[in-house]
Every structure is written in structure tokens, then in C-alpha cells.
A = this chain, B = another copy of it.
């Protein structure tokens, strides 16, 4: 993965002509005054770990698994939000970990946590108290990897990349057990050998890990059919500084609160997930994606709601608003048959695809949809993981591009949609704001916004102000601060407002009990 951007540098995208034209004509984008620095120019703080600490780390994972070189540190600095990239491109490595440590087992993670909390597995502490940042694919876009340094002697990135096994497959219960550091494509490849799939395909799919999906409550593009990642988790093992938590003896239980749902979304603040038991499904026999055109976002939204509430539910279901549809159509490889309206992508995977497609199509047609055939669906499927590449090109051209998202109940969705757009326009002047619904439920849906704006002299501060305005708007309009990106550091204050004082006290009580030294991802999630 590119250290200062997304994905494979060889796959970097040229900006399509219509976008370049839009950038100049509509948004006033100009090339930035300074180009991105190269990796060796990133300014890093000195490694603060003492020789005894390094020796203690070596004793746990082996000397070759404790990395303190510049490139390793840079590659484990922050995540992949636009502010993260802006900082890295400006050479700001101030959030770099002092070391990258790569454990190979649950026991090594347990020993690491004891050491970082100021002790060691053998009870002889190395004397330094270290913040621990669990690191999977490094794809957080909410500051989930940017631990607070204050009050710590150093920061360690706990890279779980060596814990990447498919441990077992139970085809009777349809459960696969994985270690947390396995990347999603590798997990799918190993499952495919058994004729199985998770069906979890978020935009971060190519780089993110299964442990990260669980820690951040990820939701994939096929959530309508396969469910969110939290729907797939039937069991978790978690290493905490006070011991190991093992959850999940049954699909569902009435034995108290569901502790799995406490670990899901805990973003490394309560512990390190070291094993996941996940519901799997048979690899679909067939996949068909198609497009539908609706006259307006409101009409398309009503059609999605009907499918979610009355069925049949497609496997993939998304709706772009007028602006996102227009920008999509403006691409050189233009999709769809109309020049206005809103594009719906409906995908069907599995068995009896044609039957479900026909039944869902009848609902879409009844509610005003115009069928566009499979071309728009295939175009969407082809480009489904490529948006972050485009962002890098736009950044280099002087445009800030960022995404943000929320979710709410259907009756509140128009208010939420308007509130976010108003906040962005109020803060950024005349940005380009696109939106889509990509996850639908019986009672509500997600709203996913993509914002493009010309950078001013201080693009970081410019975006921070916009983000603050949006967070407030989402809170006031009654939405949740994140449907699938998570909380991290960027949403921490908004999250506190969302869960309220009692919710905050509950989170703090858990945190203080399982992590009394507060070394786990400090500053992330917990207000």
C-alpha cells in the first residue's frame, strides 16, 4: 500500500477529463503550491524506547519482529482519511509509533499488553508505559490509529499481520475461525477452497483485515444480502490487560447482555481481538448487478424502503442522489440511459437469482423505476474498490476529497440529508456534495457523502472546520455519527454527545476495568 495514499501505486488513476473540467469551472481548484514529500523526508520523532524495553519486546516476539526503521514507522502512521494523507504528504510524521511489533500468537499479544502496561510476562517490568495501537490493514478513516502520546513513554504499533491463519472450518455450523490479521482477499481465497464466502466487501476490502472489520463494526457493499460484519460474528477471543475474554457459545443467547456486541466497535480500546468465529455462506452460484433510474432521490429512497420492508431484498442495494448520479454519468465510460435522475444499483447473488430479480424488479418498477439493464451494474461492480485511488489524484490536483457518513430512521432521513448538505455548504462555500444510500434496513438506512472542494491555504484546517460543522449537524438532526467508518479520534466528541453522559460513564467504567493503565489505543473511541 502506498504510504501517503491508497493502494497499489501502480494503479494510480489519471483524472478523467470531465472531472478536471468540473474542478476548474465549478470549484475553482488550483494546483497546490507544494508537492507531496517523498518518504525519506517525513519528519519522525526519535525512537523513545529504552534498551531494556526493546530487549523485553525482543524477548516476547523475537528481535526480527520489532521494527524501528523509518519506513516501517511511516507505514504504520495514522490511517487513510484525507487529513491523514494531507499530513503525510506534508511530511508530518509526528504520530509515528516508536516501534512496530509483530506478534504471532494470542499469548504473545497477552505478553505484549502486560509489558506495555508497565509490567512483563515474567513480572519484571521494563519500566516504560507504552501506548498500544492494534494495527490491521491500516485503513481507518476516522483517526482510529492515532493514539494519544501524552503521558506515555512511547507508542507501539501492534501489527497483527503475522496472525493471518484460517484456523478451522465447520461446514455443518457454517462457521470459520480466523486469526485477526488476515486480509479480506486472502480470507476469501482460503474460504473459496471450501466453496465458502463471507460476502463482506467494503470499499477497504483489498487491504483491510478481519480483525479490523470487527473492531470497527464494518459494513460491506453487499450488506443487504450478507448482513453487516457484526451480523457475521458468532464468537470472539479478546486479549485484555487483565486477561482473556472468550465470547460466543451459541448464535444467540439470553444469558445477559451480548458481550460480543461490546467488543464489536470497541476499536482496540478494550482489548485486542485474537480470534474470530464467523458465519460463512456458500459461494454464490450466480451474480447479477443491474441499474434502475428514478426521477428523484426521494422516489428512489421510497423504492429502497419498500424492498427493505416488504422484500424481496436484493444482495446489493444502493441509490445515488442527483449529484452523484450526474457525476457518475459525466465519466468517460458513461453509464446508464438517462442524463438526469438517480441511479439505483440492485445486485442479486446466490440461488434463484432470476426469480428474486424479477420480484424485486416488479417493486422497483411499480414505484417509478426505469430499468437500465446490467451495464450500470457491471460498471459499478468493476469500479467498486477504486474510489480511493481517484481521491489521491484529486488531492494531488489541489482538490480536497473526503467521505463521511451517517444513518438514521427512514422518517428522519430527509432531514439528515439536508442537514449534512447545509453544513457542508455553510462551511466550504460551494463544494461538490454527492450522496448515496448503500445500506438499507427495515427501519432506516445509511447516508454516505462524498465531498469535493477546492483547497484553500490551509486545507487541513479548512476540512476540520467543515467536519466539525457536519458532526454538529448530524447530532442535531438525530443521526448516528457513523454507520460504518467508526469513531476513532475524529468522532470522539460527537460520539460522547450521541451516547450521553450515562453512556460515556459505561464506556469509561469498562475501559478502566479491563485496561487500568489505559494503554490500549488511548484517545481513541472513549470520550
Tell me the smallest distance from the CB of A286 to a CB of chain B, in Å: 15
Residue with the greatest number of chain B CB neighbours at <10 A, chosen from A216, A242, A309: A309
On whether the beta carbons of A252 and B441 are closer than 8 Å, the reply is: yes
Residue-wise, chain A 278-293 has the 8 Å CB interface mask toward B (1 for contact) of: 0101100000000000
Q: A2 near B: Cβ within 8 Å?
A: no
24 A-B contacts (beta carbon < 8 Å)? A173-B409, A173-B444, A174-B410, A175-B409, A218-B254, A243-B500, A247-B503, A249-B409, A250-B407, A250-B446, A250-B480, A252-B441, A252-B483, A254-B484, A255-B482, A255-B487, A256-B525, A257-B263, A262-B262, A505-B513, A505-B514, A506-B510, A506-B514, A509-B509
Tell me the smallest distance from the CB of A199 to a CB of chain B, in Å: 12
Restricting to A468-496, which residues have a CB under 8 Å from any CB of B?
A: 478-487, 491, 495
Residues of B near A482 (CB, < 8 A) are 253-255
Residues of B near A259 (CB, < 8 A) are 499, 503, 506
On whether the beta carbons of B483 and A250 are closer than 8 Å, the reply is: yes
Given A257-B507, A263-B257; A479-B439 close (CB under 8 Å): no
Partner of A256, one of B218, B279, B478, B499: B499
Given A444-B173, A483-B252; A245-B502 close (CB under 8 Å): yes
Residues of B near A173 (CB, < 8 A) are 409-412, 443-444
Residue-wise, chain A 178-222 has the 8 Å CB interface mask toward B (1 for contact) of: 000000000000000000000000000000000000001111000
Separation of A486 and B252 alpha carbons in the complex (Å):
12
On whether the beta carbons of A442 and B251 are closer than 8 Å, the reply is: yes
Tell me the smallest distance from the CB of A438 to a CB of chain B, in Å: 12
Given A411-B172, A442-B174; A253-B509 close (CB under 8 Å): no
Q: A310 near B: Cβ within 8 Å?
A: yes
Q: A512 near B: Cβ within 8 Å?
A: yes
Tell me the smallest distance from the CB of A134 to a CB of chain B, in Å: 16
Restricting to A230-275, which residues have a CB under 8 Å from any CB of B?
A: 230, 234, 238, 240, 242-247, 249-259, 261-267
Separation of A482 and B444 alpha carbons in the complex (Å):
31
Separation of A120 and B446 alpha carbons in the complex (Å):
43
Residues of B near A89 (CB, < 8 A) are none
Given A256-B507, A487-B255; A408-B262 close (CB under 8 Å): no
Q: A52 near B: Cβ within 8 Å?
A: no
Among all A-B residue pairs, the 3 with the closest Cβ atoms: A509-B513, A261-B261, A251-B441
Q: A170 near B: Cβ within 8 Å?
A: yes
On whether the beta carbons of A243 and B407 are closer than 8 Å, the reply is: no
Separation of A480 and B256 alpha carbons in the complex (Å):
10
Residues of B near A264 (CB, < 8 A) are 257-258
Q: List residues of chain A with CB under 8 Å of any chain B CB.
A: 170, 172-175, 216-219, 228, 230, 234, 238, 240, 242-247, 249-259, 261-267, 279, 281-282, 305, 309-310, 351, 406-412, 439, 441-446, 478-487, 491, 495, 498-503, 505-510, 512-514, 525
Residues of B near A484 (CB, < 8 A) are 254
Q: Which B residue's beta carbon lies closest to that of A244?
A: B502
Partner of A442, one of B257, B279, B483: B279
On whether the beta carbons of A251 and B443 are closer than 8 Å, the reply is: yes
Residues of B near A406 (CB, < 8 A) are 250
Residue with the greatest number of chain B CB neighbours at <10 A, chosen from A282, A309, A408, A444: A444
Separation of A174 and B253 alpha carbons in the complex (Å):
26
Given A265-B257, A480-B255, A510-B509; A242-B502 close (CB under 8 Å): yes
Separation of A446 and B407 alpha carbons in the complex (Å):
33
Separation of A408 and B495 alpha carbons in the complex (Å):
35
Residue with the greatest number of chain B CB neighbours at <10 A, chosen from A174, A247, A446: A174
Separation of A472 and B263 alpha carbons in the complex (Å):
27
Residues of B near A172 (CB, < 8 A) are 305, 410-411
Given A246-B500, A259-B503; A219-B252 close (CB under 8 Å): yes
Residues of B near A267 (CB, < 8 A) are 256
On whether the beta carbons of B217 and A407 are closer than 8 Å, the reply is: no
Separation of A503 and B259 alpha carbons in the complex (Å):
8
On whether the beta carbons of A478 and B249 are closer than 8 Å, the reply is: yes
On whether the beta carbons of B256 and A483 are closer than 8 Å, the reply is: no
Separation of A170 and B170 alpha carbons in the complex (Å):
42
On whether the beta carbons of A495 and B255 are closer than 8 Å, the reply is: yes
On whether the beta carbons of B263 and A407 are closer than 8 Å, the reply is: no
Tell me the smallest distance from the CB of A352 to a CB of chain B, in Å: 9
Residues of B near A266 (CB, < 8 A) are 256-257
Separation of A247 and B480 alpha carbons in the complex (Å):
10
Q: Which B residue's beta carbon lies closest to that of A263?
A: B257
Separation of A246 and B408 alpha carbons in the complex (Å):
15
Tell me the smallest distance from the CB of A516 to a CB of chain B, in Å: 10
Residues of B near A305 (CB, < 8 A) are 172
Q: Which B residue's beta carbon lies closest to that of A501?
A: B243
Residue with the greatest number of chain B CB neighbours at <10 A, chosen from A247, A256, A409: A256
Tell me the smallest distance from the CB of A117 to a CB of chain B, in Å: 15
